[in-house]
Amino acid sequence: MTPQKEAVITVDGASGTGKGTVSQLLAKRLRWKLLDSGALYRVLALAAQKHSVALDNEKALNVLAEHLDVQFIAQENNLTRIILEGEDVTEIIRTEKIGNAASIVAALPAVRAALLSRQRAFRDKPGLVADGRDMGTVVFPDAELKIFLQATPEERAMRRYNQLKERGISVTLGDLIEELRERDKRDQERIVAPLKPAEDAICIDTNHLTIEQVVERILFEIKRKKAFPATLHLEINPILVEAAE
């Protein structure tokens, strides 16, 4: 008999759909593990920069990805510190520049292949929330619940604009929309593991929803599925679910 695999919920979607925050909150509510797969591609892009590897040198990037010395250290406050070659890179990898570089290296088949087993190794007790672009289609095709978050480029750019403004970083909304469209195009049109919902994914339009509404809606789907016995006790706020349906 093959051993029972740990439960997985996948949360996929384009940049700025809120999937990072949603996945974090979901993992916290469920007390499950979290995989931020985008962070892996971001760390690889940073490592490439550090070791002067060109973003189109697939062979060298494959070697770098296979030997990537990265640690994800879960903290008490539910945040994860990311350590590359002994250096804390948690904040540095969040810039637009590294995000774009990550999207470029992520289009290379050899890079995706090298990072596959690393991502699957996050599957652990009592369950995993996996956040990314191809979690439901490629990395965990057998996940019990697959979510795909959507929002227009304008809405996503606006969210990003507000985040950056809060941090005192000045950008124009027009530039952000342009960058998002470019990144979407690359993520959707690449040959391997393009950004798209799995056939059995539940698509949620987040345009007019708060993060809390999206989280409650997903918790509602979790309960409805009855696939995760350990989560049946979860309290769900029906008002938030109704708004998100």
**How far is the CA of 134 from the CAs of 31, 139, 179, 181, in angstroms?**
23, 6, 21, 18
Tell which one of 23, 30, 33, 38 touches ligand DC (CB under 6 A).
Answer: 38
Footprint of ligand DC on residues 91-120 (CB under 6 A)? 99, 102-103, 106
Measured between alpha carbons, how far is 193 from 82 in angstroms, rounded to an integer?
25
Q: Say which residues have a Cβ less than 8 Å from residue 189's Cβ, sequence separation at least 6.
A: none
Q: Which residues sit opposite 147 in a β-bridge?
A: 11, 202
* Extended beta strands in 14-113, E state: 33-36, 70-74, 80-84, 87-88
Shortest Å distance, C-beta 245 to ligand DC: 26
Residue 13 within binding range of ligand DC, rule CB under 6 A: no
Tell which one of 187, 201, 214, 231 touches ligand DC (CB under 6 A).
Answer: 187
Written as six digits, the tokens of 223 are 């309960």
Shortest Å distance, C-beta 78 to ligand DC: 18
Tell which one of 10, 17, 24, 37 touches ligand DC (CB under 6 A).
Answer: 37
Nearer to ligand DC, 102 or 149 (CB): 102
Nearer to ligand DC, 189 or 242 (CB): 189
Q: Looking up tokens 């480029």, which residue turns up?
A: 153
Residue 17 within binding range of ligand DC, rule CB under 6 A: no
Nearer to ligand DC, 41 or 228 (CB): 41
Measured between alpha carbons, how far is 167 from 170 in angstroms, rounded to an integer?
9
In the complex, which residues of this chain contact ligand DC (CB under 6 A)?
Answer: 15, 37-38, 41-42, 99, 102-103, 106, 132-134, 183, 187
